[in-house]
Each structure stands twice: as C-alpha cells, then as structure tokens.
Amino acid sequence: MDHDAARDHGLFGPGTVTWRIMGEPVLMIGGFRALLLQALHPHSMWGTAQNSALMDSEAAWARLGRTIEFVSVRTWGSSQEVERVGRRVRRLHSRLSGIDQRTGEVFPVDDPENLLWVHLGEVDSYLDVARRAGVGLTPADCDRFVDEQRRSAEVVGLDPADVPGSVEEMADYYRAMRPHLYACHEAKEGLRRLLNPPVPMPYAAALKPIAPPLAALVVTTLPRWARRMYGLPGLPTSDLAATTVLRALHRTTRLVPASLRYPPEARRAREQTEALSRAA
C-alpha cells in the first residue's frame, strides 16, 4: 500500500472500532465463518460457484488470497486505494450472472439483495467472533462497528442508507431473511471441502493437520439455525464450547509480540490509534 499520504486514512482511521479490532488474528475465524454463512443464500452460492473454479484447489486458494487483500485494502488503505479496488470489484460483478437451479431464472451477481447478504455476512461474522473471543467491545462499540461498515458496503455498490447500521437492525434483517435461506448442494460441498481442504504444496504438510480442527471451530461459531441448515447439531453446548475456544485462542495470540501478531497495516493503525489516545 502507498502510505505517502499519511493523513489519508481511507474509510476508517484512528478511533474507529474497525481499526481497533480488524487486525486481531482471531478474526480469521470470522472470515471463514462469513463464507459459510454467505453460502446459505442460494443466489450468493450459485453466483459464486457458476463464475469461478470453486472446486479447483489452486484457483480457490488464489480467490481466497484476493479476498483477503480486498478486505485489507478496504480496512487500512488510502481513499485512492479503496476506490481502485472497489471499482475493480464493481466492474467484475457487473459482468457476472448466475442461474437459479430451481427456476432457471438468470440473475445478476451484483443484485443489491445479494450484495447486502454478502456484506452483512462479513459484518456479523467479524463482530460475533470479536465479541465471543473477548476482544473488548461494549454494546455501543458493537453498534458503531456495524454503522462504520456501511462505508464498506458503499465500496461494493450499495447505498449506505439501505444497509443496517446497528446490531438490532442487523438482527431484524437476519430474522427476515431466514425463510429464504437453505444449504444447497454447492454450499454443503463447500463445507465438506472446508473440513478437508485440498491444500496445495508446499503448504500441505503444515496446514493439513490443523485444517480439520480449525474448520470445526468455524462451523461451531455459526448461529444455531445456520448449523441446522447444514444438517449439523444446533446445540447450546456447541455455542459455549466455541466461545471458550475463541477466548483461549485470543488470549494465546496476545502472548505474541505485536510486531509479529499484526500485519504491517494493522500495526501502523494501532500505533496511530494509540497516539490519538495519548493526545486526547
């Protein structure tokens, strides 16, 4: 990223909840949770599966890398960088369409309903994991995070005024959407591959052993209704176990020095946030 314009913080900046939490390593679990949640909207899943080599391991890993890069630029990039990646994503989505496997209907991938579902899948997942891991968020912080993320929604082409801006509004949205959701074949196949991912060389030896327990944790962080849609138990005990593991994982990562724990962009953001706090 170009950091010449030191005062251009892009969408967020020092003092935002987004900058405070997004660099925490435990939020990686939230990113994978979002993928499973997003897959429960059939158009979202079919739009992805029909326009990408989703079942090709190398292509899938490359796509994951591009997604991580997009989230990183959107969170910490300058206004110019955010606009550049947003323009690229909007242009790509505008050219894509999917076919509803039930009706044969052709639908645009950048349909606002689909974009909103994908956006809130991210927001809900990052926030849920951060809260349960003990990152340290008050109810007001949670509402601020949801509200701040409306800026992210605009990057992909949504009108921020049409996007939930609080935890309660987001919960209302999910209640309204649940009758329209289910785990299609492609979603269940995605879950299976998450539990046993085809890891490309030379990373296979290091990643293969940790992939199943990591994926199991991701699955148990899903809402109970989402787990049931995948044909899995939706037990309260699973929620408690996931929260316990998330807290332990977060505490463990806190033992790692900040210079190693955070990527460079997140580290700079934390330093600027701390400088702002000292000056206040």
- Residue 280 pLDDT level (bands cut at 50, 70, 90): low
Mean pLDDT of the chain: 90
Q: pLDDT digits over 186-195, tens only? A: 999 999 988 8
Q: pLDDT digits over 123-159, tens only? A: 999 999 999 999 999 999 999 999 999 999 999 999 9
Q: What percent of the chain has pLDDT over 70?
A: 91
pLDDT of 278: 77
Which range is least confidently modeled, 86-95, 158-167, 244-253, 261-270? Answer: 261-270
Higher pLDDT, 62 or 12: 12
Contact residues for 41 (Cβ-Cβ < 8 A; gap 6+): 114, 117, 118, 177, 180, 181
Asked if the model's pLDDT at residue 69 lies above 80, the reply is yes
pLDDT of 197: 75
SS3 content of the chain, % helix, strand, coil (to 5): 65, 0, 30
Question: Where do we find the tokens 């921020």?
Answer: 160
How far is it, in rounded angstroms, from Cα 49 to Cα 61? 14
How far is it, in rounded angstroms, from Cα 86 to Cα 96? 16
The CA distances from residue 4 to 135, 179, 264, in Å, are: 31, 48, 15
Residue 98's DSSP bridge partners are: 107
Q: pLDDT digits over 34-45, tens only? A: 999 999 999 999
pLDDT of 194: 86
Angle at 177 between CA 176 and CA 180, to 5 degrees: 125
How far is it, in rounded angstroms, from Cα 59 to Cα 105? 27
The pair of structure tokens assigned to 215 is 């994926």
